Chains A and B, each alone.
Chain A
Amino acid sequence: MSVSPQERISHVVRRLGIGAHGQLVAGITSVDEAIATALDLTAEPAPPPQIPAPRDVDDARRAEQRRLPAEFWFTQMIQSGRLIEERLVWFWHDHFATSIRKVRFPYLMWRQHLTIRRFATGSFADLLHAMATDPALLLYLDGVDNQAGAVNENFGREVMELFTMGRGTYAEADVVACAQSCTGWVVFIPRPGRERSRIPPDVEAWTSLFVPRRHHAGSKTFLGVTGPLDLEGAMDIILERPETKAFVASKLYGEIVGGEPDTATLQSLVAAFADYEIMRLVEAITATPQFLADETISSKVRTPLERVVGGLQAFGGHQQTLRAIGAYLETVDYMPWVPPNVAGFPRGTRLIGPHTLVHGFDAALAVGPDVPDLDGAQILHRLGIYDMSSTTRRVLDATVDPRARIALALNCPEYALT
């Protein structure tokens, strides 16, 4: 089946943004316009809520510490005009997967979110440096336990395997040397009634700080470089490696296009990523012939996050929507801030097992309930689906209740793909 022009436009928007943006898609008349719209960062970003730093760990448990970030982030995904920013904020969260279940403090997750948002469309080198001393990541990958004399290799290994160079590009000795270089960082977590005796007065609570006496100051050899390396030095060495550009470029290609780039394509992406400018890489990816190829369109499984956000963009929500989004994404284990493991969120055919598929109907509880009485094709257009089977249309049109029709549309085969 050939791909219709509007389906191709929709493809561009849903791959570069989060969700479906059906109403936006309906007004776009060419693929070039779609790419330009999705990559446009001229609109002012929405100001994030001012969430005050908690006084101490007890104060950090207040409900609004969790609610305000969720409200802000989901709202941005649904309605921000800076589409590519939301795609990249999600991508980098998945990339630097950090779970609140281990970090425990929403405020630290929020700070990390703001860091990701700040650098999401900027420089990967800046992002990596910021994340390497990010308090939430220091807690998540045990950086706070990593000290001279008791080296913890968790971050030292993951930073290369998952964040930068990829498996098989370094030796075990490099893991140790990287971990040693990164020793000495801790997070200032204010405990009630505890004196901050050993914390310098200029250090703010909930930030990370370098404690020289915990640092392994001696010489180490990391990826062929020998010297008294520290964390910044180790990150710079990693950024010098060509594998880092290839690994990150390939992963973002997989996010936007799907699969892995062929050798020639990867070379062109690495060239575009020479200065680690993320938007230059994105532009290069959208310029590959594969991005717009027929076989790319609807070749990926739509994630639960994309499913529910697309539904909300199309039909709005209600006062309990945030709660319903959370219940749905928890049930199918796709909750932002709660990646199932360090490798990030599942993708592909893992997302079309019975549990995840059946609970796709839970996404409908976030939508409406005041929904228009539209026929099947109209509903799917709102969801950015233009190429649909007659079977799908027939099932939708035969459904009497407009809410059930929308619930079914959110769970039809075409909408399960992106």
Chain B
Amino acid sequence: MSDAPATRPPTDSAEPAVEPTIEPPACGLVTRRQFIAGLGATVGVVAAGAYGISVWARREDMPATAAPSKSTTTSSSSPSSTTSLPPGAVGPGVEGRTLVVVEMGGGNDALNMVVPHQSIAYHDMRGGLAITDPIDLDGEIGFHPALEYLAARYHDGDVAIVEGIGYPNPDLSHFASMATWWTGMPGAVGANGWLGRYLDAVAGDDMLAGITVGPGPSAAMLGERAFVVSIQDFSGLAPMQPPWMDGTDELVAAWSGFAPAGMYSTGMLAAVQSAIRSAAAATDILAAALDAGTDDEPRLPGRQAGGSLHGYLDVAAQLIVSGLAPRVVYVHGFGDFDTHEGQADRHRQMMQNLDDGLSSFFAKVDAAGLNSEVVVATTSEFGRRIASNGSGTDHGTAAAHLIVGSPVAAGRHGSALDLGTVDNRGNPTYTIDFRGYYASLLEGWLGVDAETVLGGTYETVPVIGSQ
């Protein structure tokens, strides 16, 4: 099965989840009564289990992929903008282009990624955590020394640096800040994601127009109609493997038999049958795309892809070069950028991963001749405090982000942060609204009406095209 489904399928709940660490259940014979008793009695079995650890606990300071509430906002009005968009609401967009968003969860220390090495305030406040050997870009800023590939691309004219991205009344909690970045609508209760709204408006019947690569769906991709598929690795969209079955292919094949084409139903039953047909088709199309043309090429198999940016970007590159050409690939959940402590080593490692991952990603994209069709943009819920806390940095606000790819207008965009002027929590004031950053991508790269997607007009930066 490789044809796109004929019907317009319903929506997906592309919301965040954390990576399940399930193991196959024990296959012993257990009766219902034993099961019920077992809930109370098999303490030892379940106690240290992944269930407890992965489901009910988070690291104290890092809500990982949590979907946040709005909180501590001091804005005086609740947004009244539409949080879901109908098809066609933003124009058709540009076909064939892919935006890859790389979310650096936890709050990336942008000051040590794009280093203001001439700033006295930076060196004074950062102390021992200041980067002393950046790769200079223009005599004023430089990349973290691990970003050798990106520095070379910068000099080739393929990297846009957008400085000072933030928003008014910033919240310092991961939880609230992630919600803000995911929805693009601070404080809007239950709003869809900014990319989910975009996909609702442009994707039509293409259920693979937006694909999340990571431990689970992202709220940034949540929409009403769009078929936002979430995959973790090269196994694609597949259920967990039952221990009593060799493969889940036959299960999924039988499943599609519930909804043969041409079956007549009405109401919700018809919607569900259509959704099953589409989901089964998506499973097959994705499996083919993830398997296409890569026989001789070593790639990270199965689970090894999980949790690493390199692995996720490997999957993202495959989705693009396979011809699937999704409009958006959202990569997240690959590292903990929340460097309150041990920052020097931890952040260096993550910068290295970013550089290596993008290097290998673009090698595949370029080899397929698609370098003019792909742009990668980074996000993170906030930057980090200018001042070091000793071995790390605490939550900050505004930050620089990178847009990488041949189509970008290289160089510096926006205005650098004024590190000498900080608020009562020690954070500088943003110079470009993050929604302006989004709008620059939506308009400049995806070619749609950003105002409708974002529910407002924000100053953009010309990050795409020659400068």
CB of B422 within 8 A of chain A?
Answer: no
Given known contacts A145-B72, A403-B245, what 7 new A-B pairs fall within 8 Å (CB)?
Answer: A102-B173, A298-B268, A319-B46, A322-B46, A323-B51, A326-B54, A352-B10
Asked whether A411 and B17 contact (CB < 8 A) given A104-B58, A355-B237, the answer is no
The CA-CA distance from A350 to B222 in the complex, in Å, is 9
| Distance of B86 from chain A, by nearest CB (Å) | 14
- Select which of B10, B18, B244 is within 8 A of A401 by beta carbon: B244
User: Do most interface residues of chain B lie in helix, strand or loop, or is the interface mixed?
Assistant: loop
Tell me, in angstroms, the Cα distance from A79 to B35 when the chains sit together. Answer: 11
Q: Could you list 13 A-B pairs, sorted by A, with CB under 8 Å?
A: A63-B47, A64-B52, A65-B56, A70-B55, A172-B77, A321-B39, A323-B46, A344-B190, A353-B14, A354-B237, A361-B248, A404-B242, A408-B255
Q: Most A CB atoms within 10 A — which of B15, B34, B271, B282?
A: B15
**A370 lies within 8 A of B263 (CB):** no
Q: Which residue of B lies closest to A155 (CB)?
A: B71
Q: How many whole Å from A64's CB to the nearest CB in chain B?
A: 6
> Given the complex, which residues of A lie within 8 Å of B275, measured CB to CB?
349, 352-354, 357
- Option from B35, B179, B244, B258 in Cβ contact (under 8 Å) with A413: B258
B94 CB contacts on chain A under 8 angstroms: none
Chain B nearest CB, measured from A274 CB (Å) = 28
Contact A358–B217 (Cβ < 8 Å): no
A361 pairs with B240, CB closer than 8 A: yes
Which of A161, A301, A362, A391 lies in contact with B260, CB distance below 8 A? A391
B20 within 8 A of A: yes
Q: Is A106 at the interface (CB under 8 A from chain B)?
A: yes
A357 is contacted by which of B40, B230, B276 (Cβ under 8 Å)?
A: B276
A355-B47 in contact given A99-B66, A319-B38, A404-B251 (Cβ < 8 Å): no
A365 to B240, CA, bound (A): 8
Within 8 A of B (CB), among A29-80: 61, 63-67, 70-71, 74-75, 78-79
Provide the B25-51 mask, 1 if CB < 8 A to any CB of A, else 0: 111111111111011101101111111
Q: How far is the CA of A408 from the CA of B23 in the complex (A)?
A: 21
A157-B78, A413-B258 are known contacts. Are A352 and B47 too (CB-CB below 8 A)?
A: no
Residue B272 contacts which of A342, A369, A394, A417 (CB distance < 8 angstroms)? A417
Q: A355 and B230: CB pair below 8 A?
A: yes
The answer to the question of A351 belonging to the interface, with a C-beta cut-off of 8 Å to chain B, is yes
Q: Which residues of B contact A356 (CB under 8 A)?
A: 12-13
**A215 shortest CB reach to chain B, Å:** 19
Partner of A323, one of B22, B72, B273: B22
Q: Is the beta-carbon distance between B45 and A358 smaller than 8 angstroms?
A: no
- A319 x B26 contact (CB < 8 A): yes
**CB of A85 closer than 8 Å to a CB of B:** no
Interface status of B145 (Cβ within 8 A of chain A) = no
Interface: A333 (CB within 8 A): yes
State which of A362, A391, A401, A414 has its C-beta within 8 Å of the C-beta of B257. Answer: A391
Q: Is A4 an interface residue (CB 8 A)?
A: no
Q: What is B's interface to A at a CB cutoff of 8 Å?
A: 9-18, 20-36, 38-40, 42-43, 45-58, 60, 63-64, 66-74, 76-78, 173, 175, 179, 189-190, 207, 216-217, 219, 222, 224, 227-230, 237-240, 242-245, 248, 250-252, 254-255, 257-260, 263, 265, 267-269, 271-273, 275-276, 278-279, 282-283
In the complex, what's the smallest C-beta–C-beta distance from B217 to chain A, in angstroms? 6
Given contacts A342-B189, A395-B257, contact A355 B12 (CB under 8 A): yes
A contact residues, total (Cβ < 8 Å): 102
Chain A residue nearest in CB terms to B259: A413
A100 within 8 A of B: yes
Question: Does A364 lie at the interface of the complex (its beta carbon under 8 Å from any beta carbon of B)?
Answer: yes
Assess whether B30 is in contact with A317, with CB atoms less than 8 Å apart: yes
Residues of B close to A64: CB separation below 8 A: 43, 47, 52
Q: Considering the complex of A and B, which 8 residue pairs feature the smallest CB-CB distances, nearest first? A: A353-B12, A316-B32, A343-B190, A66-B56, A361-B239, A327-B22, A327-B20, A101-B66
A403 touches B244 (CB 8 A): yes
- Specify which chain B residues have a CB less than 8 angstroms from the CB of A394 in the assembled complex: 257
Chain B: minimal CB distance from A48 (Å): 12
Q: A106 CA to B20 CA in the complex, in Å?
A: 19
Report if A355-B14 is in contact (Cβ < 8 Å); known contacts: A343-B189, A407-B242: yes
Question: Beyond A67-B52, A331-B17, is A141–B69 a contact (Cβ under 8 Å)?
Answer: yes
- Asked if B11 and A352 make an inter-chain contact with CB atoms under 8 angstroms apart, the answer reads yes
In the complex, whether A330 has a CB less than 8 A from a CB of chain B is yes
C-alpha gap A315/B36 in the complex (Å): 11
Residues in chain B near residue A196, CB distance under 8 A: none
Contact in complex: A365, B24 (CB < 8 Å):
yes
Report if A165 contacts B (CB, 8 A). Answer: no
| Given the contacts A316-B30, A342-B190, A361-B248, A417 and B46 also touching, CB distance less than 8 Å | no
Interface of A, helix, strand, loop or mixed by DSSP: helix
Complex: chain A residue closest to B241, CB-CB:
A365
- Tell me whether A299 and B263 are in contact (CB under 8 A): no
- B45 touching A319 by the CB < 8 A rule? yes
Instruction: Select which of A145, A157, A346, A370 is within 8 A of B13 by beta carbon.
Output: A346
The digit string for A389-412, where 1 denotes a CB below 8 A from any CB of B, is 101101100110101100110011
In the bound complex, do residue A299 and residue B268 qualify as a contact, i.e. CB atoms below 8 Å apart?
yes
Query: How far does the alpha carbon of A90 sit from the alpha carbon of B25 in the complex, in Å?
Result: 26
Q: CA of A369 to CA of B207 in the docked complex: distance in angstroms?
A: 34
Q: List, in ascending order, chain B residues with CB within 8 A of A408's CB.
A: 251, 254-255, 258
Cβ A152 vs Cβ B39 within 8 A: no
Q: How far is B397's CA from A121's CA once the two chains are assembled, in angstroms?
A: 45
How many angstroms between the C-alpha atoms of A221 and B55 in the bound complex? 43
CB distance from A281 to the nearest CB of B (A): 24
| Of listed B14, B47, B52, B224, residue having the most chain A CB within 10 A | B52
CB distance from A37 to the nearest CB of B (A): 20
A78 lies within 8 A of B36 (CB): yes
A327 to B24, CA, bound (A): 11
Once the chains bind, are A101 and B63 in contact (CB under 8 Å)?
yes
Q: In this assembly, does A337 line the interface, its C-beta being within 8 Å of a C-beta of chain B?
A: yes
Query: Which residue of B is nearest A369, CB measured?
Result: B27
Which residues of A are found within 8 Å of B45, using beta-carbon distances? 319-320
CA distance A78 to B33 in the complex (A): 12
CB-defined contacts of A66 to chain B, threshold 8 Å: 52, 55-57
Instruction: Tell me if A101 and B175 are in contact (CB < 8 A).
Output: yes
Please give, as numbers and ranges, the residues of chain A lying within 8 Å of B13 by CB-CB distance.
Answer: 332-333, 346, 350-351, 353, 355-356
| Residues in A whose Cβ lies below 8 Å from that of B22 | 323-324, 326-327, 365
Complex Cα distance A101/B265, Å?
41
